[in-house]
A and B are shown apart, each in its own frame.
Chain A
Amino acid sequence: MAFLSENEGTTRTLLHHVLETQPLSSPVLSNTRQSKRSLSTSMGRPRRTLRDPPSRTLLSKQTKTAPAQPKDIGADGQFFVEHYDFLEEGTPRILLKKILQTASEASVLVPALVNSQEPEPVELQEESKWNSLELQLPELEPSVTVAPGLLVHSRKKRCLRVSEFEQEVDQGLAVASDLTGRQPASASKSSVTRSFNLTLATVRPPESVERPGLARRPPNRKAIDVEAFEQRLKDIPLTPLPDCRTYHSATPVDEDRPFQASPDSRGIRRSLAKGQELKAVTQKANQRMEKGPRKPTKSGTRSPSQNTPLSTISMSTGTRSRPWTGTPSQNSCFSAHSLSARSSISREARAKSGVAHQVEEEEERLMDDEAKESEEDTEIPQSTGNIRVQPRPGSWRCSLGPSPKGLPADEQRHGLDPCALVLPGSCQVGGAILFVLFLIPRLPSKPTQAKRAPKRRAPGPRQPRDPDKVGLNNYCKAFSFYAKIPMEKSASQTLMKCLNQYFRTLCDDLETFAHHAGRKTVLLADLELLMRRQGLVTDDISLYVLVERFLPLEYRRLLIPCAASGNSVFPAG
C-alpha cells in the first residue's frame, strides 16, 4: 500500500500529465486507452487534472488500475505515458484489474469480478449506456471515470455521471481536463468513489437495458390512460375514483377485480343495467358481494370523481334499498360512496342523501351507526371534502372502522365498511369486508342503474362525435378565453353545435371555391377569398395583420411570406 500510495501520488501526477498532454484521439479507442491512463493517474483522490478528456473518463474508472500501473510503469509521468501506451496495447484489462485490485484495498468495494468485468463492460457499456440512457447527471463529471472496482455508492447519480461522462468521452470532449481541474482534492475522494461507482453502474448492462424501457413507458401509459378513461366515461355513468382504488386495493378479497376499477366498474354497471338477475339476490348478494362490491366499489370510487353518475346511482341505490332487503346499508354505502365523490358531486350527494335517507327507513340504526362512522370518516378524509359526509346523516358513512357498530347484519357491516373505504379519506381502512359490503349495496343499485344506464350509455353516433369532441374542446376554450366571462356547462354543448355547423359551411365554401377555380386542392387563395367574403379581410385589414393579431408568433414565419434577397420568397408561395 505504501508503494501504492507513493505510486498513486506519482502515478496520479503522471497520469495527470499524461492526460493533459494526451491529445484527444478517436473516441472509443482513445477513451479506452485514455481511460486506463486516466484511471491510473486519477487514482483514488485524483486531482484530476484531466489530461485527456476521454482518458479522464476512463481514468476515473481506471483509477484502480492506476496503482497497478505505476508499478509497471514507474513514477515517471511521461515515462508512464510511453509505457502506458505500451501497456495499453498489451492488456488494458490487466491494468485495470491491477488497479482495481490495488485500489480495492483502498476503496470500499473491490470485487474481483468487477475488475475483470469492468474493463470490458465499462468500455462497451459506456457507449451503450450513453446511447441508451440519457441520465441527467447532477454534476457533470465526465472525467470521473468510475473505477470499476469501487462500488462505494452505487447511486443513480453516479451512474448518471458515468454515463454522461461516457457520452462526453465518446464525443471526445475535453471534459476530463475540466473535471480534473475542477475537482479538488476534497472532492476527489467522493469523485473517485463516484467514478468507481459510475463504472459499476455502467457495468450493469441489464440496468441500462431496463432504463430505456422505463423511459419509454410513461408516454405509452399516458395514452392508454386517457383512452381507457374516456371509454370508461362513455360506458359507465359513474366514473371511478382513482383514490378509492387504493382503498380497494387494501381489501384482500377483491383485490383482483376491484382494482381494475374502470373495467370492473363498467362491467358492474352494465350488469347492473341488466341487473335483474341481481335484484333477486339478497342471498346471492352475499356471493355477489364479493364480486359486486368490488365492482361497485370501484365504480363507487370512481364515481366520486364524476358528479352526475354518482348522484344518480346513489339515487338509484336509495330507491332500491327498499326492495333490497337487508341491504339498505349497502345502498347507503353506495350512495355514500357516490357522495364521497368530489366536491361537484357533493351537492348532488346531499340532495340524494336526503332521498336515500328517506328510503332507508329501516336502517335508521345503520344510519346512525353510519352517521357515527361518517363523522369519523369525515374527520379522516378531510382532504377529500368531508363536507359531503356531513350533510349525509350517517347512511353514507360506512363504518370504516373494522368493528361494525352494532350492526346485526353482516351485510350491513359490509355495507358500511366498503362505504367507509370508499370515503375518500378513510378508504384506507380497506378490509375485504368492506369490499364485500360495498358490493352489496351495489346490487340494489344495479337495477336502478339499469334504468339510467341506457340513458347515459346511448351516445348513438359515437364515432363521428368522439374525435370531434376532443378537438372542439380546444376551440371551446378559445371561445371562453375570448368571451372573458364565465360560461355555463350546458352552453358549451350549444357551442359545439355551432362549431359543427360552422365547420360544415366552411368545408362547403372551400370546396365551392376550389371547384370554381377548376382545382381539386384547396389553396391559400381560396382561404383568402373566403375571409374576404366573410368580411374579416377588408381593404383596411389585410390578411397578414390578422395573422399577427391572432396567431402565435411561431406561425408568422410560416404564414407571412417574406421576400428575401435574390428574388426568393419564403415560405415559398
Chain B
Amino acid sequence: MAAAVVAAARVLKRKAPRGFLRNLIKRRKPQLHLKSGVDLWVHLNCLLFLHRLAEETRMQAFQNKSRIIKDKHIIAAAKVILKKSRG
C-alpha cells in the first residue's frame, strides 16, 4: 500500500471513550453491570496495556534492527504482554 507507514502520533487523546467502553463490555457480557466510574478505570487499564505493549514492540523492532514497527513485532510482543495481562 502506498504510504504504508504511519508516523507516530504526536498527541495523545485526552478524553476517555467512555461510551465506547461501556458498549463494548455490554455487548460481550450483557448480564454484567458496571458501576459508574468503572469505565474510566477500564480505560486506564487499556492505556497501561498499550503502554506495555508499545514498549515491548519497540524492543522487538530494535532487536530486528528495524525502525518501523511491523506485524511480526507486534505479534511477538503481544504474546508476552497478553499473557501478563491475563489476571
Contact = CB atoms under 8 A, between A and B. Distances in A.
A491 B70 contact: yes
B86 A521 contact: no
A140 interface: no
A494 B75 contact: yes
A446 to B, nearest CB: 24
Nearest to A472: B20
Contacts of B57: 483
Nearest to A523: B35
B85 interface: yes
Contacts of A215: none
Interface in B38-62: 38, 40-51, 53-55, 57-58, 61
Interface residues of B, number: 64
Contacts of A494: 71, 74-75, 78
Contacts of B67: 485-486
A556 B33 CA distance: 23
Contact of B33 (A490, A492, A522): A522
Contacts of B41: 524, 527-528, 559
B65 interface: no
B48 A546 contact: yes
B73 to A, nearest CB: 8
Interface stretch (A148-156, A369-377, A424-432, A503-511): A503-511
B68 A483 contact: no
A477 to B, nearest CB: 5
Given A490-B71, A571-B37, A501 B45 contact: no
A501 B75 CA distance: 12
Interface of A: 307-308, 343-348, 464, 467-468, 470-471, 474-475, 477-495, 498-499, 501-507, 509-511, 514, 520-524, 526-531, 533-536, 546-547, 550-552, 554-555, 558-559, 571
Given A471-B21, A511-B32, A521-B34, 20 more contacts: A344-B3, A464-B27, A468-B24, A470-B20, A478-B13, A481-B10, A486-B7, A486-B67, A488-B71, A490-B70, A503-B24, A505-B85, A510-B25, A524-B38, A527-B41, A534-B87, A550-B47, A550-B48, A554-B14, A555-B40
